[in-house]
Amino acid sequence: MVQQKQLYKEAMNVLKATSRTFFIPITFLEKDMKTTVATSYLCMRAIDEIEDHEDITVEEKARMLTKTAALLTAPTFDNAAYLEELEAYKELLPEVTLRLNDWLMLCPEVIRGRVAASTAEMADGMAKWALKGWVCHTKEDLDDYTYYVAGLVGVMLSDIWKTFAGIETDRDLAIGYGRGLQAVNILRNQEEDAERGVSFVPDDWTREELFAYANENLAKADAYNKQIKKRSILMFCKIPLALAHKTLKTMESGNEKLTRAEVEATVAELEEHTK
């Protein structure tokens, strides 16, 4: 029990250091859901750090991600085999990646297998898109990419809500929730991505069409939230969605991103409205 408490404390510290934006909404969740969402985020962030690392070749990224996916779908996660796969890059990769096994072990057993399966599916998808050079040519490509890196998160969250709170949500809307948030990120990082030879914008699309894609999926996210009646979960889901809506409007008006003050004001406003 003491070991689990210490591991939980370390997980929350890594979570806060990894993503302050995500750390805010997670604090509204009750214990088991909070632990599950935190550890599932850390599992997915672990593989995301492999995909994003600038000093690892595409081929090596794909190899490590594919092997990790296979280990995650095994009856028991083989941490020794996982660390062996990362051995050549252990000095480059962050703590969140090297401690994937710890996050899995901290995740409640009742849903650990589902979290591992979702992370494995994401890892396989990331490996595929790494080998494609992260270039989308069609809307189908964009849908496929955003499903693997974000839509899957929405589906997994729905599994968590159902397991711990008995809340049923629509799968398509859950995917739209993730896609909408990711589309906003794509818009925000479009120029930076182009500089490194990456493009998630279909060949024949204008930036306005990408805005439309983001708005279409954020509308699904709004509908998704309407299916959730429990305040703590609703707060968790509403905060990133509200920030995404505001970020989109900010970019449409020609600005780059929200200020920290605007983020804090949004969170405070949502807290007041959902009391």
Chain-centroid distance of CA 242 in Å reads 16
Buried-exposed string 206-217: b where 16+ CB fall within 10 A, e elsewhere: eeeebbebbeeb
- Spelled out in words, what is the top-level CATH class assigned to the domain 134-275? mainly alpha
Quick one: 83 exposed, middle or buried, by C-beta within 10 A (0-12, 13-18, 19+)? middle
What's the whole-number mean pLDDT along residues 247-254? 88
pLDDT exceeds cutoff 80 at 257: no
Domain ranges of the chain: 1-110, 134-275
pLDDT exceeds cutoff 90 at 89: yes
Does residue 241 contact residue 177 with C-beta atoms inside 8 Å? yes
pLDDT exceeds cutoff 80 at 248: yes
Does residue 130 contact residue 148 with C-beta atoms inside 8 Å? no
Nearest Cα neighbor of 169 from 160, 157, 185, 158 is: 158
pLDDT greater at residue 154 or residue 258: 154
CA distance 42 to 32: 15
- Model confidence at 265, pLDDT cuts 50, 70, 90, reads confident
pLDDT exceeds cutoff 60 at 275: no
Per-residue pLDDT tens digits for 194-204 = 999 999 999 99
Does residue 164 contact residue 36 with C-beta atoms inside 8 Å? yes
pLDDT computed for residue 271 by the predictor: 64
What's the whole-number mean pLDDT along residues 226-242? 94
Quick one: three-class SS letters along the chain? CHHHHHHHHHHHHHHHHHCHHHHHHHCCCCHHHHHHHHHHHHHHHHHHHHHHCCCCCHHHHHHHHHHHHHHHCCCCCCHHHHHHHHHHHCCCCCHHHHCHHHHHHHCCHHHHHHHHHHHHHHHHHHHHHHHCCCECCCHHHHHHHHHHHHHHHHHHHHHHHHHHHCCCCCHHHHHHHHHHHHHHHHHHCHHHHHHCCCECCCCCCCHHHHHHHHHHHHHHHHHHHHCCCCHHHHHHHHHHHHHHHHHHHHHHCCCCCCCHHHHHHHHHHHHHHCC
Cα-based angle 209, 213, 216 (whole degrees, multiple of 5): 130
pLDDT computed for residue 90 by the predictor: 94
Does residue 47 contact residue 97 with C-beta atoms inside 8 Å? yes
Output the six-digit token pair for 54.
């600038």
Output the six-digit token pair for 11.
């997980």
What's the whole-number mean pLDDT along residues 263-274? 68
pLDDT exceeds cutoff 90 at 15: yes
pLDDT exceeds cutoff 70 at 91: yes
Does residue 210 contact residue 186 with C-beta atoms inside 8 Å? yes
pLDDT exceeds cutoff 90 at 122: yes
Per-residue pLDDT tens digits for 102-115 = 999 999 999 999 99
Per-residue pLDDT tens digits for 46-65 = 999 999 999 999 999 999 99
CA distance 29 to 16: 15
